[in-house]
Structure 1
Amino acid sequence: MEDQDDSPQVDLLITNARLIDGTGGPSRKADLAVRGDRIARIGDRASIDPASARQVIDATGLVLAPGFVDSHTHDDFAVLVDPAMRPKVSQGVTTVVVGNCGISGAPIRLKDSPPPPLNLLGPAERFAYGRFADYAAKVDATRPAVNVAALIGHGTLRVATMRDISGRASAGEIDRMRQLLADSLDAGAIGFSTGLFYPINSGADADEVVALAEIVGEKGGVYTTHMRDEYDHVIDSLEETFETARRAQVPVVISHHKCAMPENWGRSRETLPLIAAASQRQSVGLDAYPYAAGSTVLYPEEARDDVRIMVTWSTPHPEVSGRDLADIAKEWGCSQEEAGRRLLPAGAIYFQMDEADVRSILAFPLTMIGSDGLPHDQHPHPRLWGTFPRVLGHYVRDVHLFSLENAIHKMTGLTAARFGLADRGLLREGYAADLVLFDAAKIRDTATYADPIRAAEGISAVFVNGQPALEGARAGRLLRRN
């Protein structure tokens, strides 16, 4: 008679959950079993024996969803210097897309201070990866608590290869950028981003962007863009975005879509139909964060009386972090623009959007959820810690902007599909066990503009590749292009 194997058949069994699978379809009551780093079984109570599991979690009253995929982050170095990634795992995020807005941590080596906005990622010594393959190896060796999917920034490529970044790259410089980009994609990067608004990137014309983006299209990646203008010329910038992606034959994602400054409030009534029409001709997506304020480096020339600006950090004056620029200017007896110049280099939160536009953009069917958080800011925007619970608590439960199932889809299945993250973003047998358990009645963001470093409430458990991230497990990995 052969010996019986009495060892458990699964490592984790979650029972009695309200399962929302990430597709946008209706929820259902189900049990889910995990073996190793994969979802082994989804079914009713009778189909999975609790005695077969090493650990059983009774999820009565809780929602079980795929781990949230943060579609827009600047966590390139955060995953290396703070691999526990508490700002993200505490809100249910299991995968971060890094390298957005044309700035990425690789491929570049820097000795001098990084030019804005590269300095949002940290000081020069962090930029130590001349090849993306070196950065990828470092991520895998560090094993952060979240998975990492990486874009290559156009601004990073320009600073790494060009003598003068104020204008268009020469043919030779474009060739060098193309080679760096191709090597990075071959080493596992999932795509390419531009930050055409920023000085390190704004000198590039559409032809330069196409010359790079077409490589991404050939290799099956995605192109994301912080457009040239989100203000008065937002329509022109959208048209440039669509045309560039069409010429390069590449899927495109519009980063943190907005209609900024009071004179442009309400223009989402123009932009969203334009995006919808373009999406019928080509692959177009967009991301957004659930706040009416943005955050980036401080530009003193953008100071104006009708838009509040809060300083998030300042190298020469760190003591003003968290204060309004107008108050600093009044104290110093100068204009806001002059005060801003004294603070440089610095970062800021700009209260420049309209809540009605924010809601329209969030509810738009193609919109993914992305935090756009800046983890190295001394006084960060609350979106760094609060984005996903804010959507689920404020916009789903309190405002009823969309259903819980729709919100989860925008955070999981839609994002994984847009970025080509195989086996992620859905609750399906054989998929990666990236999971979040939360209380839909209690989940909420607690981070505020005045007190931004605060964990959300209502998250019960987070698993990354089957391991408990809230308890300190670091099981993340680089998600390479398939």
Structure 2
Amino acid sequence: MFDVIVKGGLVVDGTGAPAFTGDVAVKDGRIAAVGKVEGEARQVVDAAGRVVAPGFIDPHTHFDVQLLWDGAARPALEHGVTTIVPGNCSLSLAPLKAADRRRVVGMFQQIEEMPPEAFTTAFEWSWEDFAGYVAAIRKGLSINVAPLVGHSVIRLWVMGNASQERAATPDEIAAMQDLLRECLDAGAVGLSTSFVDVDENGRPVPSRFAQFEELDALCAVLGEYGRMLQCVPEFYATDITIARIDQLAELSLKHNIPTTFSPLFDTAAVPDNAPRAIARVEEHFARGARVWPQMQTRPIDISFSLLRPSLFFARLPRWVRILRQPLDERLAALRDPETADKMVADLGPDGGEQMMGRLVVRGGDAAPSELVGKTLSEIAAARGEVPARALINLSLEHGLDVAFLSASQGHQLTDRIGPMLAHPLVHIGASDGGAHLASFATYGDTGYLFSEFVRKGRYLSLEKAVAKVTSETADIWGLKDRGRLAEGLAADIVVFDADNIDRGAELPSFDMPGDGMRYVRAARGVDTVLVNGEVAYSSGAYTQSRSGVICA
């Protein structure tokens, strides 16, 4: 007898092969049969009129801390995602000495906009090494986790304060190599690094102080294991991004490793950025290198208020510094005429019209209802102020609890994005799930892929889109028993409605510790999700299954 039969669906097996109507049988966490299945099962999932596909794989998330109290990594499962890769952007929660925890928490707060309560109220630190972190999350998983280890924390462990001051010595590099081996042996699928990020004090994160010799030595260790190097390049400058692609290609060829960089944005402001990057990637693949650009499917809607720091102000150091102050000090600074004048001046001679004019008042407990939906330009004109001044004053008048929305940042031109996503060398990822919780609605990448680029735009077939987020991702990351519906492989399965799957509406969620209200994308069109043969999500609800594993 089978444990589960997913019956009568349109089977899209993840390989890109034509879909067919059939069944998928599961036994002992593995796929036992695909096709016309005879026999009985303890549980039957009726998939008539639905697509049956391998579980989707998300290669760029920051669920590191959330997994400590939410082993389902909400809302990933409800979007059909059965495997996530946390630990990106040079940051992970291990290896990490107790004395350095506060420093790394500050980096997570700055780079990923996670509230401090997420690190102080929801769990107890019980580990320092990577094996200890893996043990801490393993016991409660409803989703599979393929974790990266962060270059910044490896550097911090070995060098302490000097990790943010200087290049490493040969002995320190050797110690980092040994530490990376320990992490890979404990379950890490690779190393992440960053060339752009800063900590809460505006200083470059430790990975940015590494010379090429250090990165080369760490990649030599990755080569011993055949594991991934992930990096965040200088995505705001095309020429520097191209140089990073060249560097990744050399590391890939020298050490025979896969590499990936994210994000790759396409914007009207810099229209040649993504095409040039993809062209350079093509050149290096022709040489035998593996450099996978990661591209999001969806535009980003950034929501923020002055109650907390926001990625929206990342290029305005004075604003970042003031918004990171305690609330009383922040209010005093914003009320100080001289300080406010300087903040407005930082936006340039137009008073923030270009950067802030299109902002829309979204809401907030204290926001005047008559202003909701109006642009900041409209509000500023009515008040006789420039937009930056109006934003500050309006916020102060309502206890800072006025939320603003900056809609559709990046990825503005669907007719350009579609062909890029269909490109055989473009890796779909960079969802940032688990991060930027108060700023923009995470998730919805898979639903948006099928709604915008399969169903509406027809840039990819259903079979090709499924392959992009299943077998192709599994192959890139070396997840050998995931990504396909084939006998003997892990039974990660998603059942969804191809005619209705979408990223869904934004919904506020209050499940983050502290005051960390976030906006998440509700799922639409995903019916049932199995993780290693057990139903983890069905009919809009999570089950009590804890069948997720660490997969490396």
Short-chain TM bin: 0.7 to 0.9
Q: State the partner residue of 1:3.
A: none
1:478 deviation in Å?
3.6
1:134 deviation in Å?
0.4
Task: Summarize the Cα distance change of 1:283–1:235 in structure 2 as closer, same or farther, 3 Å threshold.
Answer: closer
Question: In the TM superposition, what are the counterparts of 1:50-449 in structure 2 within 5 Å?
Answer: 52-109=40-97, 110-114=100-104, 117-119=107-109, 120=112, 123=116, 125=120, 129-142=127-140, 144-162=141-159, 163-164=161-162, 165-198=164-197, 199-200=204-205, 201-233=207-239, 234-259=241-266, 262-280=268-286, 281-293=288-300, 297=311, 298-301=313-316, 306-307=354-355, 329-331=388-390, 351-355=409-413, 356-382=415-441, 384-448=442-506
Q: State the partner residue of 2:333.
A: none
1:349 deviation in Å?
8.8
TM-score with structure 1 length normalisation?
0.84
Structure 1 contact 61–439 (Cα < 8 Å) conserved? yes
Distance 1:25 1:155 in 2: 41
User: What amino acid maps onto 1:477 in structure 2?
Assistant: G
Distance 2:551 2:419 in 1: 33
Task: Summarize the Cα distance change of 1:248–1:94 in structure 2 as closer, same or farther, 3 Å threshold.
Answer: same
Per-residue CA deviations over 1:101-121 (Å, capped at 9, x if unaligned) read 111121113342436543336
Q: Which runs of 5+ in 1 are unaligned?
A: 1-8, 312-316, 335-341
Q: State the partner residue of 2:522.
A: 455
Structure 1 contact 136–478 (Cα < 8 Å) conserved? no
Q: State the partner residue of 1:6.
A: none
Distance 1:219 1:180 in 2: 14
Structure 1 contact 94–464 (Cα < 8 Å) conserved? yes
Distance 1:433 1:380 in 2: 35
Per-residue CA deviations over 1:121-180 (Å, capped at 9, x if unaligned) read 6645577632111011112222x2100001111122223333231443333332332222
User: What amino acid maps onto 1:28 in structure 2?
Assistant: F
Distance 1:325 1:169 in 2: 48
User: What amino acid maps onto 1:283 in structure 2?
Assistant: R
Structure 1 contact 373–381 (Cα < 8 Å) conserved? no
Structure 2 contact 143–548 (Cα < 8 Å) conserved? yes
Instruction: Report SS of the residue matched to 2:499.
Output: coil
1:222 deviation in Å?
1.2
What is the count of residue pairs matched by the alignment? 450
Distance 1:115 1:135 in 2: 15
Using the aligned pairs only, state the percent identity.
Answer: 29
Distance 1:140 1:325 in 2: 46
Distance 2:172 2:234 in 1: 21
Structure 1 contact 148–479 (Cα < 8 Å) conserved? yes
Task: Summarize the Cα distance change of 1:277–1:14 in structure 2 as closer, same or farther, 3 Å threshold.
Answer: same
Q: Which has the larger radius of gyration?
A: 2
**2:6 matches 1:14:** yes
**Which is further off, 281-290 or 65-74?**
281-290
Distance 1:353 1:59 in 2: 34
Distance 1:318 1:253 in 2: 41
TM-score with structure 2 length normalisation?
0.74
Distance 1:310 1:474 in 2: 42
Distance 1:325 1:185 in 2: 49
Q: Which runs of 5+ in 2 are unaligned?
A: 198-203, 303-309, 318-346, 381-386, 394-399, 509-517
Per-residue CA deviations over 1:40-97 (Å, capped at 9, x if unaligned) read 11122xx413xx2112222111000001111111111222222233310110110101
**2:548 matches 1:477:** yes
Instruction: Report SS of the residue matched to 2:85.
Output: strand
Per-residue CA deviations over 1:275-311 (Å, capped at 9, x if unaligned) read 1221122223232211233878452438776456989
Instruction: Report SS of the residue matched to 1:392.
Output: helix
Q: RMSD over aligned Cα, in angstroms?
A: 3.3
Distance 2:183 2:157 in 1: 14
Distance 1:429 1:111 in 2: 44
1:462 deviation in Å?
0.4
Structure 1 contact 32–43 (Cα < 8 Å) conserved? yes
